[in-house]
Amino acid sequence: MPAPLSIIIPAYNSEAVLPLCLASLMPGLEAGLIREVIVVDGGSEDQTRRLADGAGATVISSPEKGRAAQMRHGFEQARGDWLLFLHADTALSRDWAERAKAHIVERKDKAAAFTLAYRSDHPMAKVVARRANWRARTLGLPYGDQGLLISRKLYNAIGGYPDTSFMEDVQIIRAIGKTRLSLLSAEARTDASKYERDGWRRRSWRNAVLITRYLLGANPEKLAKSYS
């Protein structure tokens, strides 16, 4: 029987972060969990494609720009019964494969995300991550940075990632619903450069405002222009 999991990573000019992301997947290979790793490139002008290919990933080009389009295109090429959508700037903790395998065996009808952590020594890193994990547990709204582990059956049932340029992670999580979502204890350790560039409080406040505006009905295309 083939390994169950296809990992889909949308990437764009990700040479600085992709190697760590790909290296963190090794426990899944050791456990016989991963069928394939698909890096969906959005037109990178750096060494992203070369690095992905050198790591043994299948590298494909997305016909459309945008993370949602890249993930949809990756799904079309994937062969696994389970899918893990993972951002290129996120690296998983070593216990991720054990936690993911248990979920696949025991919770076939549910999707899952990982516990968020930031790759930063700044005191605010743990504060912001704690808030995000509270949101994930209490409201059932994890960030896209936390990854999405989902069966092909459930992915098809909810219609997959939407055709949008922004908030695709929120839209698919809302389609899944809190009762069909688990938060795994393994960590998704994501890059913190945007927080360190903009300031932790300013960036987290800005993100909170954007998600609130979206939930109140603001157009995602217009919100995208406010985000960078």
Instruction: Give residue-wise pLDDT tens across range 159-173.
Output: 999 988 788 999 999
Buried b (16+ CB within 10 A) or exposed e, 191-201: bbeebeeeebe
pLDDT at 145 over 90: yes
CA distance 83 to 75: 8
- Structure confidence at residue 228 (pLDDT): 56
Compute, in degrees rounded to 10, the torsion defined by CA atoms 43, 46, 199, 224: -10
CA distance 228 to 225: 8
The CATH number of domain 5-224, selected from 3.10.180.10, 3.90.550.10, 3.40.50.1370, 2.30.110.10: 3.90.550.10
CA distance 22 to 37: 9
Q: What is the rounded average pLDDT for all residues in the chain?
A: 94
pLDDT at 219 over 80: no
In this structure, the number of other CB atoms found within 10 A of the CB of residue 149 comes to: 26
Predicted TM-score (pTM) of the model is 0.94
Where do the structural domains in the chain lie, given as residue ranges? 5-224
- Structure confidence at residue 24 (pLDDT): 98
CA distance 169 to 99: 21
* Rg of the Cα atoms in the chain: 16
Instruction: Give residue-wise pLDDT tens across range 63-116.
Output: 888 999 999 999 999 999 999 999 999 999 999 999 999 999 999 999 999 999
